[in-house]
């Protein structure tokens, strides 16, 4: 909702810039269409009705935009804030409803991540740790434990799908020290204690169309994953669509190498490999000295009819290193 207070400030600014001798009235105002669009939006907030307000505002003649410049700017700012709120509410709704596939099993994890995943699992001992970021029903993890796997496992997800509540509860009871499911919050809000970090960092982190696929805080979540990984540990995640404008990445061909792959391979302390066949990424941590080239956020937008958001960034750092593509 665009608040009554924001509207009051906006109307006051219009009134102050109004030059007519008879005073400002909504019915005669050039902002009438915009104000009607705001009413429509407030009755049923949606990305479409928000976009319509922007359209009305953009349609104002240039002269009016100049005359009412402060009101115009104020409303643009309000709309930008509203857009962020709407996006995150929509994201929470989708995550809470689990309105996407949450049932991947061990075979799907193996198909997506190949030998980086199977080798890491095979070498896990009782002190090894596996974290799944965005685990859905946590089928692969529970199957690993049921199959005799010795490692300690933590699944995470915004909400445990109702279909999986019984199996997750049963696994927690069966493996009290070796299985946990942290839910009810974004990954970025999970504390070290909830991840039992006192037991050590993780040998394996998986993310199959999970956190990285949806998150609004991509860089922060990637940094968190890398900080949670042991030196020698492996992070695997499925292909995600991210556009990065990189003026200082010489000889970069985005048709051959995704922007994300090029940017990530310039993070210090890791080796990056991308699979051409599956699009998945394998990041092996080789040092605790992690340094991430700064990304400026340009866009994060929830898309209608698609699960993944539109994410655009820019990066001005020199990105000399190319990823390994297999
Ligand atoms: C498409 S499901 C995939 C689940 C599972 N990996 C599978 O393939 O069956 C996405 C999962 O990621 C979780 N998720 C996505 N973004 C998240 C975030 N920012 N914080 C916490 N969980 C997130 C969702 O709650 C859900 O469990």
Per run of 10 residues, the mean pLDDT along the chain (length 326 residues) is 89 80 76 91 88 92 89 91 82 74 93 96 97 97 97 97 96 97 96 97 97 94 98 97 95 93 97 95 97 94 83 96 93
Say how far apart CA 58 and CA 139 lie, in whole Å: 49
Q: Which among 191, 181, 190 has a CA at the least distance from the CA of 160?
A: 181
165 C-alpha vs ligand 1 centroid, how far in Å? 15
User: Kind of pairing, strands 270-274 and 281-285?
Assistant: antiparallel
Q: What is the pLDDT of residue 247?
A: 95
133 CB within 6 A, ligand 1 = no
Say how far apart CA 6 and CA 2 lie, in whole Å: 7
Which residues fall within 8 angstroms of residue 93, CB to CB, at 6 or more apart? none
205 C-alpha vs ligand 1 centroid, how far in Å? 13
Atom of ligand 1 nearest to the CA of 216: 19
214 CB within 6 A, ligand 1 = yes
Specify the CATH number for 106-242+249-293+321-325; select among 2.40.50.140, 3.40.109.10, 3.40.640.10, 3.40.50.150: 3.40.50.150
Q: What residues does CATH 3.40.50.150 cover in the chain? A: 106-242+249-293+321-325
Kindly report the pTM of this predicted structure: 0.83
Q: What interhelical angle do 69-97 and 4-17 show, nearest 10?
A: 160
CB 149 within 8 A of CB 126: no
Say how far apart CA 241 and CA 219 lie, in whole Å: 14
Q: What is the pLDDT of residue 99?
A: 67
89 CB within 6 A, ligand 1 = no
136 CB within 6 A, ligand 1 = yes
Q: What is the pLDDT of residue 91?
A: 75
263 CB within 6 A, ligand 1 = no
Q: What is the pLDDT of residue 45?
A: 87
36 C-alpha vs ligand 1 centroid, how far in Å? 38
Say how far apart CA 160 and CA 158 lie, in whole Å: 7
**Which of the listed residues 133, 210, 307, 311 should we mutate to test ligand 1's pocket, taking the one with most ligand atoms within 8 A of CB?**
210
CB 215 within 8 A of CB 187: yes
Q: What is the pLDDT of residue 85?
A: 83
184 C-alpha vs ligand 1 centroid, how far in Å? 12
Atom of ligand 1 nearest to the CA of 100: 1
109 CB within 6 A, ligand 1 = no
68 CB within 6 A, ligand 1 = no
309 CB within 6 A, ligand 1 = no
160 C-alpha vs ligand 1 centroid, how far in Å? 9
**Which of the listed residues 88, 110, 156, 157 should we mutate to test ligand 1's pocket, taking the one with most ligand atoms within 8 A of CB?**
157
240 CB within 6 A, ligand 1 = no
225 CB within 6 A, ligand 1 = no
164 C-alpha vs ligand 1 centroid, how far in Å? 13
Which residues fall within 8 angstroms of residue 72, CB to CB, at 6 or more apart? 57, 60, 65
Say how far apart CA 130 and CA 74 lie, in whole Å: 48
């Amino acid at each position: 909702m665009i608040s009554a207070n924001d509207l009051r400030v906006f109307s006051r600014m219009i009134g102050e810039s109004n030059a007519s001798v008879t005073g400002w009235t909504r019915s005669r105002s050039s902002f009438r269409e915009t104000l009607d669009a705001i009413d429509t939006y407030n009755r049923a907030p949606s990305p479409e009705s928000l976009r319509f307000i922007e359209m009305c505002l953009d349609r104002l003649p240039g002269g009016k935009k100049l005359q009412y410049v402060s009101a115009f700017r104020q409303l643009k700012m309000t709309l930008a804030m509203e857009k962020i709120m709407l996006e995150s509410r929509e994201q929470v709704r989708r995550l809470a409803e689990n309105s996407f596939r949450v049932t991947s099993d061990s075979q799907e994890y193996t198909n997506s991540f190949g030998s980086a995943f199977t080798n890491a699992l095979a070498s896990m001992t009782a002190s090894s740790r596996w974290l799944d970021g965005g685990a859905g029903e946590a089928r692969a993890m529970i199957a690993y434990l049921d199959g005799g796997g010795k490692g300690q496992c933590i699944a995470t997800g915004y909400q445990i799908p109702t279909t999986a509540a019984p199996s997750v509860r049963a696994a927690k009871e069966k493996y009290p020290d070796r299985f946990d499911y942290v839910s009810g919050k974004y990954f970025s809000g999970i504390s070290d204690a909830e991840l039992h970090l006192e037991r050590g960092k993780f040998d394996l982190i998986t993310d199959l169309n999970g956190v990285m696929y949806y998150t609004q805080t991509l860089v922060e979540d990637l940094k968190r994953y890398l900080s949670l990984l042991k030196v020698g540990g492996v992070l695997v995640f499925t292909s995600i669509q991210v556009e990065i404008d990189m003026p200082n990445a010489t000889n970069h061909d985005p048709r051959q190498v995704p922007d994300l792959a090029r940017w990530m391979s310039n993070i210090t302390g890791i080796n990056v490999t991308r699979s051409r066949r599956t699009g998945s990424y394998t990041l092996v941590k080789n040092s605790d000295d992690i340094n991430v080239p700064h990304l400026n956020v340009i866009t994060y937008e929830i898309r209608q009819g698609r699960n993944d958001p539109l994410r655009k960034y820019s990066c001005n750092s020199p990105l000399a290193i190319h990823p390994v593509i297999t």
